[in-house]
Structure 1
Amino acid sequence: MSDSRDHSPQRELTPDEAVSRFIAKRRNKNTDKTVRSYHQRLRQFLRWTWERDDVEVMRDIDGWIIDEYERHLDERGDAPTTVKGKMSALKELMKYCVQLDVVDETLPDRVELPRLSKEEQTSDTMLEAPDARLLLEHYRQSKRDYGTVHHVILELMWHIGGRISCFRALDFEDYDPDERVLRFRHRPPTRLKDGTEHERNVAITEATADALDVYIVRERYDKRDENGRTPLFTTRFGRPSESTFQTWGYQSTQPCVAVACPHNRKRDRCEYTEKSHASKCPSSRSPHAIRTGSITWQLNRGLSYVKVAERVAASPETIRRYYDKADLDDELARRRPDTEDLDIMYEDNNDE
């Protein structure tokens, strides 16, 4: 008996249709941030296909087309990390299309990801420990700014080193003020990056807990989100979006909060103090930069890679590769307690 599938017409999808189906599928598996990242990275691919006459459906894509797209990204001046990110998203799209039988099954293997040097893989931009200390000293001593959302977000982002998604996922019941513990839980639609694997309990200092307590009493809106849950951090409309947390991070790290503006601007007349322009301040730092600075600081304080990894929800290898920005003096200080008395003449002789 012949297989009826041999005579069935091939299914076809346009690139737009393929990306739409792919994004819809990802919404069931990934965080909102990851889904947005895929969408943004594949948008450039769609624009490029619109301008070509030789790509009408996904089955038109072959190794030549993929190579042409990568050349296009290089020629338009995309940074190496950006090119790799867009090609990685394209590779995942091709894997999905293989499952749908709308591209050749060997196509994902033809998407080669650029190999980056260590310098190209990471960014050195971070909130430096002295700057974090200066800002937090101001917030803790200020009658006006103490316990504000900007103060508390900086306290938590710095002293924990977590991702935005972690803090956004917190419900009011996840904070134990008596034990000074935050419980991070994966409860879709609020997601932790690697799901339940990133669930953890984290202790905070008394100073950080005091600031959080003031925020809850004085600043927090008593709101529920669209799922009936009570977020720890709220706006007038309920649970804040990740972009709101992003803005809070930028606003909390503007140096003019604590000292004179290093760019000779007047704070009361500077557009960078507005929410929509906070990220444009040359000296403000993103939540990712705060996380990077925090992780480096925690390592410099003597915490092991394993302990920091458990606290910030990352693997020790990821921390070594992407987040540890210790300079040569930091590296010396870390190993000095174990090496400054390293002398063969004073070596313990266990045989005696």
Structure 2
Amino acid sequence: MSESRTQMAPERAIERYLIDKKPEWAESTHYNNASSLGIFRDFCDEMDLDNICDIDGFHISDFKQHRREEDGVNEMTLYNDLCSLRSFLKWCNSMGLIDSWVVENMVLNDPDEKVRSEKIDPETANQILEYLDDFEYATARHALFAVLWDTGMRLGNARSLDVGDYYPEEQYIEVSHDPDEGTPQKNKSPAEREVNLHDWVCGILDDYLRMNHIEVEDDYGRNPLFASKHGRMALSNLRTHIRRLTRPCHYTGECPHDREQSECVAVQEYNKAAQCPGSHKPHAIRRGAITHWLNEGHRKELISDRMNVSIPTLDKHYDARTESEKRDLRREMFDME
């Protein structure tokens, strides 16, 4: 390392990187990178690494080990963290903070581990919906989970919805790409579509709007479907709702991980629900819903349009069916003929 190289604390470097990249990223991308790099920042604090210019391969190796062994994350989460870290370190190199070899020699875990990973199965989804019907009927969380499971849409799609995007008589919702009003879609204009809803989802939405919806305008004068008293609900709040809802102890009353609920941080602290091994990310609902629609025998072309996912991407990242499930479906379709 050159003696004249600028000194910069990891926290400051991360802050500047996120500010630099924010105009280029969707809100969800910014959130994911900020979350992953926040974990890396805390790791640097623990390691007393107070100058990003001093980072080397051993620090990166130790970070990987820390995430696997101490935090207990799965390979998909680790892969995402390392991708965020690598992009950040590339930026650091472009700013003259680190040498290029640090990035070039960085080894990611196997990206194939990302494929066909976490999903919610229909049995779990039904358990959650039964719990919601009994104990949280027509709440915002009930409406959110029902929409996500029935449509398989991304969380950002759901957040972007206004009350006026729901058509109760025709039983569909309309997804729009509005980047100038704080609700961009990941796939931009191609994500715009009209999505049919089942009767049971419309019943929940109707009662939610009648009984529990908060009438409030966002910063652009729009009336969000999923709102807090401050306006459109933030993605982080929506994620927390799903994380808390999908803890097994929440919807079954029992812990499959042999934890005492009175001592479990995922139960006792509102924002720590993700530390429950049984809780799920919102994307697990999307992956589970797509797999369920495939198992029901719906054509991939239909699912591709409904869920806003290309068929190659669907095959690679969302078709979580086992070979036995595919065989059973072929037999069922053959018998129908």
TM-score, scaled to structure 2 = 0.76
Give distance in 1, aligned partners of 2:49 and 2:272: 37
The CA deviation at 1:91 is 3.1
Counterpart amino acid of 1:194?
N
Moved more, 70-79 or 146-155: 70-79
Are 1:336 and 2:324 counterparts? no
Residue in structure 1 matching 2:196, options 186, 190, 203 = 203
CA contact (8 A) 2:67 2:78 kept: no
Note the alpha carbon deviations across 1:33-92, whole angstroms, 9 max, x for none: 321322233345555497458x564xx77xxx3x33332224435354455334322332
Partner of 1:38: 33
- Which whole-Å deviations, capped at 9, do the CAs of 1:204-257 have from their partners, x for residues lacking one? 112211211111111101101233221111122221122322233245446677
**Partner SS, residue 190 of structure 1:** coil
CA distance in 2, matches of 1:340, 1:316: 26
How far off is 1:170 after superposition?
A: 0.9
| Residue equivalent to 1:244 | 237
Aligned counterpart for 1:163 among listed residues 149, 154, 159: 154
Please list every run of 5 or more consecutive structure 2 residues that lacks an aligned counterpart in the other structure: none
Q: Do the aligned partners of residues 310 and 28 (structure 1) sit closer, same or farther apart at CA in structure 2, a change above 3 Å counting?
A: same
Question: What residue is the counterpart of 1:322 in the other structure?
Answer: 317
1:72 maps to 2:56: no
| RMSD (CA atoms) | 4.0
Aligned to 1:309: 304
Structure 1 residue 155: Cα displacement = 1.2
**Which stretch of the first structure deviates more once superposed, 332-341 or 225-234?**
332-341
- Shifted more, 240-249 versus 278-287: the winner is 278-287
Contact 1:175 1:183 in 2 (8 A): yes
Aligned partners of 2:199 and 2:161: how far apart in 1? 19
The higher radius of gyration belongs to 1
Matching residue within 169, 178, 181 for 1:178:
169
Matches of 1:256 and 1:19, distance apart in 2: 36
Give the distance between the partners of 1:284 and 1:74, measured in 2 at CA.
Answer: 22
1:168–1:242: 8 Å Cα contact kept in structure 2? Answer: yes
Instruction: Give the 5 Å matches for 1:1-352.
Output: 12=6, 14=8, 16=10, 17-43=12-38, 45-46=40-41, 48=44, 51-52=48-49, 57=53, 65=56, 67-76=57-66, 78=68, 80-97=75-92, 100=95, 110-116=104-110, 118=112, 120-122=113-115, 124-137=117-130, 139=132, 142=134, 145-188=136-179, 189-253=182-246, 261=254, 272=267, 275-276=270-271, 279=274, 284-337=279-332
Q: Give yes or no for contact 1:161–1:294 (8 Å, CA) kept in 2.
A: yes
How far the C-alpha of 1:266 sits from its partner, in A, is 12
- Give unmatched runs, 5+ long, in structure 1: 1-9, 343-352
Q: Which amino acid letter does the alignment assign opposite residue 205 of structure 2?
A: L
Distance in 2, matches of 1:276 and 1:94, equals 29
Q: Which shifted more, 177-186 or 270-279? A: 270-279
Q: 1:304 to 1:13 in 2, by over 3 A?
A: farther
Asked if 2 retains the 8 angstrom alpha-carbon contact of 1:160 and 1:311, the reply is yes
Cα pair distance change 1:205/1:107, threshold 3 Å: same
Deviation digits for residues 301-326 of structure 1, max 9, x if unmatched? 11233432332233333333333322
1:284 & 1:44 partners in 2: Cα distance? 19
* Alpha carbons 1:233, 1:240 under 8 Å: kept: yes
- Kindly provide the amino acid, as one letter, of the partner of residue 176 in structure 1: Y
User: Residue 178 of structure 1 aligns to a residue in which SS?
Assistant: coil
Helix, strand or coil at the partner of 1:216: helix
Checking the alignment, whether the CA contact within 8 Å between 1:91 and 1:111 is kept in structure 2 is no
Whether contact under 8 Å (2:155, 2:282) holds in the other structure is: yes
Distance 2:40 2:254 in 1: 41
The answer to whether the Cα contact below 8 Å between 1:73 and 1:83 also exists between their aligned partners in 2 is no
Q: TM-score, normalised by structure 1?
A: 0.74
Paired with 2:281 and 2:138, the residues of 1 have a C-alpha distance of: 20
Q: Secondary structure at the match of 1:28?
A: helix
The alpha-carbon distance between structure 1 residues 36 and 252, as it changes in their structure 2 partners (threshold 3 A), is closer
How many residue pairs align between the two structures? 322
Q: Indicate the SS of the match to 2:298.
A: coil
Seen in structure 2, the aligned counterparts of structure 1 residues 301 and 167 have a Cα distance that, compared at 3 Å, is: same
Q: Give the aligned partner of residue 345 of structure 1.
A: none
